[in-house]
Amino acid sequence: MLSGTALDAKKMLRPIRREALELLRKLVQTDSVNIPPNGSETPAQLVLKNFFRAQDIKAELYSLDVLGTSNHGCIRTDRNYKGRKNLAVRFGGSGRGRSLLLNGHIDTVPPGNGKWSDSPWSGKLRQGRIYGLGSFDMKGGVVAEAIVMAALHRAGVKLGGDLIFESVVDEEWGGGGGTLAGRLKGDMADAAVISEGTQLQILRASRGGFVVDLEVEAGDAAAYFSSGAVVSPAIPLGRLLQWIGSWTERRQHLKTSGAYASVEDPAPVQVLAIEANRLDPNVPLSVPTKAAVRVYFQFLPEEDVGAVLASVRQSLDNFQAADPFFQSHPIRWVPLYDPPLLGHELAESHPWTQCMASCLQTVRNQPPVISAAPYPCDAFLLQKEFGIPTLLFGPSGAGAHNPDEYVDVPSVMITAEVLLTAALQWCGA
């Protein structure tokens, strides 16, 4: 049985279904790949701007220049923000309610080397799914948020509190610049939701994250195949992998009482890539002169990330000191981004969690699942840096950061229904 506001949300969204699907396909078909230091998000932001224009809604596209004049500690100075723009739609409330921010990122990772069945930008619709790069992470969620704004505008509903929608740049690769710029520009709220693909679960926590390349060079390439003893980093790399494995093991048994208490691997340590020559016809039969491994550390919301990383580095120093090869061929520590991302956690009893849970329950007519995200995201920037209670909630799908990524279209509409119901309840009509 749908309650008043949920029924209203369903009715308000119905007329916009077709346009929602069209917007989603167009966004997926528009390349918005982010490869640091650059990102090409603007064409996709223009697709959104045109959508809002057709709905007679004013959307602001603004530059990230504010990052250049702020000294906030989370700004990544190694990124190029020139020509990249956030998009925001702001509905002022009557002043008698709480405000809400709907946040989503429009950038995607590159398509990778895996084999896609169709072009990564096909936007193909098959069996109720839209396929393509960024469909699930997170253009489906961005569309759900955008049509909440469109539905409210169409119905002529004025909320009590302010409602802000923002489509930000540079979230992938631990960027955060887009979300930071939104806050530094002054868009604040009493609560926020990021509609990352969550399989229609409410995620009230996210992990911290840090990626580092461990590199080692071994000797003189000119000496290879011409001197007696050939020094190679390949087998020592195996020992380095074992050292990483010891951290994986150690972090698997971390005790926590928070949102990750029942998660099997609460703070994963993963190897993302290993390099030492390539199995490639263009690479001669040669012993590698260089080896590298890319390691991904994740952290619990309550952890002191700096302290954990300090003990990781101490442990690496000890490992190196005890290994004759690495004593003479030191390991280089090359972070992919620095400072690391932090986690965040919002209490289950928080009024915003409770509001979203009851709206999800009403819309789906089943008990809501409240859980914790298996990844880091922009949430800590909103909550830890700017005090905005933040949840993740978004559509179903699969294949984020992998070939044949897709988002389930009906779940995009359910996401919009839940978000619209929550906006009506939280902000007050």
Nearer to Zn ion (CB atom), residue 23 or residue 138: 138
Nearer to Zn ion (CB atom), residue 173 or residue 247: 173
Supply the minimum distance, in Å, between the C-beta of residue 118 and Zn ion.
21
**Of 289, 280, 271, residue with least CA distance to 329:** 289
Supply the minimum distance, in Å, between the C-beta of residue 77 and Zn ion.
23
Supply the minimum distance, in Å, between the C-beta of residue 116 and Zn ion.
19
Nearer to Zn ion (CB atom), residue 308 or residue 407: 407
Supply the minimum distance, in Å, between the C-beta of residue 298 and Zn ion.
15
Torsion of CA 313, 316, 321, 324, to 10 degrees: -150
Alpha helices in 226-372 (DSSP H): 234-252, 305-321, 324-328, 351-364
Nearer to Zn ion (CB atom), residue 190 or residue 196: 196
Q: Which two tokens stand for residue 161?
A: 């509190």
Q: Where are the beta strands (DSSP E) in 157-196?
A: 163-168, 192-194
Supply the minimum distance, in Å, between the C-beta of residue 103 and Zn ion.
11
Supply the minimum distance, in Å, between the C-beta of residue 110 and Zn ion.
14
Supply the minimum distance, in Å, between the C-beta of residue 137 and Zn ion.
4
Q: How far apart are CA 338 and CA 373, in angstroms?
A: 22
The pairing of beta strand 60-63 with beta strand 85-91: antiparallel
Q: Which position has the token pair 């169709």?
A: 118
Nearer to Zn ion (CB atom), residue 24 or residue 244: 24
Concatenating the DSSP letter of every residue in 186-248 gives T---S-EEE----TT-EE-EE-EEEEEEEEEE-S-GGGTTTSSSPP-SHHHHHHHHHHHHHHH
Torsion of CA 42, 207, 355, 146, to 10 degrees: 10
Nearer to Zn ion (CB atom), residue 141 or residue 268: 141
Supply the minimum distance, in Å, between the C-beta of residue 367 and Zn ion.
26
Q: Which amino acid does the sequence have at 5?
A: T
Contact 208, 299 (CB under 8 A): yes
Q: Which two tokens stand for residue 270?
A: 């993963």
Q: How many residues does the chain have?
A: 429
Nearer to Zn ion (CB atom), residue 93 or residue 178: 178
- What is the separation, in whole angstroms, between the first and last Cα of the chain? 21
Nearer to Zn ion (CB atom), residue 161 or residue 394: 394
Nearer to Zn ion (CB atom), residue 219 or residue 394: 394
Nearer to Zn ion (CB atom), residue 187 or residue 405: 405
**Of 218, 188, 194, 223, residue with least CA distance to 206:** 194
Supply the minimum distance, in Å, between the C-beta of residue 138 and Zn ion.
5
Q: Which position has the token pair 């906006």?
A: 423
Supply the minimum distance, in Å, between the C-beta of residue 163 and Zn ion.
22
Binding site for Zn ion (CB under 5 A): 137-138, 196
CB environment 217-235: b (16+ within 10 A), e (fewer): bbbeeeebeeeeeebbbee
Q: Which two tokens stand for residue 104?
A: 């989503």
Supply the minimum distance, in Å, between the C-beta of residue 188 and Zn ion.
22
Q: Which residue is nearest to Zn ion (CB)?
A: 137
Nearer to Zn ion (CB atom), residue 87 or residue 138: 138
Q: Which two tokens stand for residue 105?
A: 């990122």
Contact 122, 131 (CB under 8 A): yes
